[in-house]
Amino acid sequence: MRFGDYMYIRTYHDGYHLTPGEELFNVKEDPHEIHDLAEEKPELCWRAAWYLEHWVADNMLSNIYNYHEDPLWNVIAEGGPFHCRGYLKDYCKRLEDTGRGDCAEELRRRHKGELNK
């Protein structure tokens, strides 16, 4: 979501990349999006989330594309991005075998429900 000098990014499933749930960048001062301001400026994240929610609602209600469902929420309901489904256990083992056990631990914490599939 772009508003003013800011870009807000909301991640619903990190695709096992360990990206944060939300990021905020001042693209005027930081055009390469290096410094995430989300923790420093939660009020701007709230505003951006409000803009995003209203944009989604307006577009779903307008039905200009004749969709009856939001494809994003279909992907979330199906378990996230296709390339991730069913591979977390093996991916965590690969991370551990290559010295990245801390990442494997964080993925298991974030995606507990996917380990039971």
Classify residue 93: in a domain, yes or no. Answer: no
- Domains in the chain, number: 1
Q: What is the pLDDT of residues 1-52, one digit of tens each?
A: 999 999 999 998 899 999 999 999 999 999 999 999 999 999 999 999 999 9
Domain containing 10 equals 2-67
Classify residue 23: in a domain, yes or no. Answer: yes
For residues 50 and 116, the model is more confident at: 50
Classify residue 53: in a domain, yes or no. Answer: yes
pLDDT of residue 78: 85
State the pLDDT confidence band at 66, using cuts at 50, 70 and 90. Answer: low
> For residue 67, is pLDDT > 90?
no
Classify residue 85: in a domain, yes or no. Answer: no
| Average pLDDT over all residues of the chain | 90
- The residues, ordered by sequence, that sit 6+ positions from 54 with a Cβ below 8 Å of its Cβ are none
Can you give the CATH number for the domain in which 21 is found?
A: 3.30.1120.10
Classify residue 58: in a domain, yes or no. Answer: yes
